[in-house]
Chain A
């Protein structure tokens, strides 16, 4: 049997497209409807996805209230409580939630994820992020966003403490940012330890991933970018005495899929038409970590930018795209509003499967984190059109072979 790709179902309220909530067929009350999420989780489980994935931010996504009010992103479920609810409404699918190392303490976070792991019978994972938004920082003290390097230094120590606790280390920790005296008071995880996922692609981010992650979530537009990231990260693992196969690299992909290519394009255009200019530009600004993009002519080029203390990797990706394709601010804004910097494929199931297969077999990905543009429609479309096509090609499982998330991902069980 050929190797099979891993698939995550990245759930995000009304959808990943910034204007998804305005689509006539999107479920607009998703952010307050647990039943909606149970339905999505069951759809993903029936399609044999490896996991459900939830992003997170401990604060609003957009500082300008007028702009925030034109998006659905200011309200939603807190992901750990959401996944705990889904844990008992599903039986096989993995459950991964993002949580920040900047605004939590390792003992509490380790304990909470271990509890989710027990509730789900060994299906939990933690996506480690360092948080890049000043809006979040303002909810946790008066000093503002900490520099990128400091956040990662804290993250490194945080990850070390959490994995130590999960692996049942008894000894106390007295470090630079944290002190922990006791072992966890919960039994060991049914899968040895919850799965460690990481999102963050800067140089220090990659090093941390190479050292601790089981899964890496990343954003890449082109095959070359994806391949370069893949090779670089796998290459770094040797330093930490790990095998390349110990990490599954899963870039985000946002497919818009339909029976015919024309239909898919039409569906995509329909979403694009729903983006207000100011919303698109504001989203772009946040990826560039600057506040005043709105003062540049919208049909002009992207200005020169200072290096970011926010998401370094995402800023680089946007700048790179604008130079490569010679895009104006408006064009860039519309481009990124669709999939937030992730790869987008618009086409038939065959076309989508071809593209995924090429990146998978070309050594640019071990799988994909699927980001439907609106819910529930585009998750259904992926499950009913693309998944069977991947299965037909032997590229994706027809049924779960194991019980735990580590089983699905083919990861070693920690000693």
Chain B
């Protein structure tokens, strides 16, 4: 297990971070993710561009939907975690749970779901909900949804599959569990028709939290992404989330809190490393998620900042396990 001594690092692939090389989009993304893997980052976050284009600022969106992109990237990488955003409005919980369970098997235990808790009017309008959702409905629905997905991910015990050809027993019927969920918004019988995840369950990542979402996140999330702010305000939010996790009966270390850092091209590597070190040593977070305005910034990070962090003993230099949970120091899965 991770002893908390080193920081977790993720990078977010935003739509619109295009370059002008004319290289086919997918090739370019592969190169980017392989670079992140060579730099031993915990995970890459794949944004889904539908909601983002609401802002009207994205003029060069990625031509891919995040879960399909994740599957494709999974086959050209071997260690780095791949977390795809997918909305609770665009998918039925059974379908979403199933997609991610499948992605987790395809990636050999490196998949995560980024559930954004923010409402998107655009999604409602394109998914036959022109009237949208009220805040409280959306929140209650979201919590019910998450519970279903996590429940479905646990429908098969780790040793359920027997593969016993001669005895004619493919699985142990006692080790497959119906969910039988009947709630306010959904009714789902289960189980999933996908085997158990290699890391027990795909990693659940929350972002876009507002105050009333914090308890839901503290109860259920593996990773919580927070916006940047001063070290002091980050520390307050970090401590608050860990307290809420403890109150929910969880080990506070079972929830990793990562804060956003945006890198500008002109910062020196020592300045960036200083900034990360200060925030990390102040225990204002468990790590960082790097937002890129331009891909060249990432090269600087990989080539200069990451080695500096390693030199200071703040970041690992090899992967110790093969699953995303193992990178994050989270319990679960066969291998740590």
Contact = CB atoms under 8 A, between A and B. Distances in A.
30 contacts: A23-B165, A31-B195, A32-B161, A59-B94, A66-B173, A69-B171, A72-B170, A74-B193, A77-B105, A78-B99, A80-B68, A81-B70, A85-B71, A88-B72, A88-B75, A107-B90, A107-B126, A116-B68, A119-B64, A138-B189, A140-B92, A140-B188, A141-B186, A141-B187, A142-B187, A179-B125, A179-B128, A181-B122, A182-B125, A182-B126
Contacts of A187: 63
Interface string B47-77: 0011001000000010111011111101110
Given A66-B173, A112-B67, A115-B64, A77 B75 contact: no
Contact of B127 (A22, A74, A76, A107): A107
3 nearest interchain CB pairs? Answer: A84-B71, A78-B102, A115-B65
Contacts of A381: none
B149 interface: no
Contacts of A140: 92, 94, 187-188
Most buried by B among A61, A87, A139, A274: A139
Interface of A: 21-24, 28-29, 31-32, 34, 38, 57-61, 65-66, 68-78, 80-82, 84-85, 87-89, 103-105, 107-108, 111-112, 114-116, 118-119, 135, 138-142, 174, 177-182, 185-187, 274, 276
B65 A81 contact: no
Most buried by A among B102, B129, B166: B102
Given A85-B75, A185-B49, A78 B98 contact: yes
Does more than half of chain B's interface fall in helix, strand or loop, or is it mixed? mixed
A106 to B, nearest CB: 9
Contacts of A74: 170-171, 176, 193
Nearest to A275: B168
B103 A81 contact: yes
Nearest to A64: B173
Contacts of A34: 75, 105-106
Contact of A178 (B70, B98, B128, B168): B128
Given A34-B105, A84-B72, A58 B191 contact: no
A85 B67 CA distance: 10
Contact of B99 (A72, A73, A80, A85): A80
A108 B94 CA distance: 15
Given A118-B64, A186-B65, A58 B95 contact: yes
A177 B127 CA distance: 10
Contact of B102 (A68, A82, A105, A178): A82
B28 interface: no
B169 interface: yes
B182 interface: yes
- B interface residue count range (under 10 / 10 to 19 / 20 to 34 / 35 or more): 35 or more
Contact of B68 (A119, A135, A180): A119
B127 A108 contact: yes
B307 interface: no
Contacts of B190: 139
Contact of A139 (B53, B188, B195): B188
Nearest to B180: A138
Nearest to B101: A78
A108 B66 CA distance: 12
B133 interface: no
Contacts of B69: 84, 115, 119
Contacts of A108: 90-91, 127
A248 B234 CA distance: 60
Most buried by A among B70, B129, B163, B189: B189
A141 B181 CA distance: 10
A57 B106 CA distance: 19
Most buried by B among A72, A75, A104: A75
Contacts of B189: 59, 135, 138-139
Contacts of A135: 189
Nearest to A73: B193
Contact of A88 (B76, B90, B163): B76
Contacts of B64: 115, 118-119, 186
Contacts of B68: 80-81, 84, 112, 115-116, 119
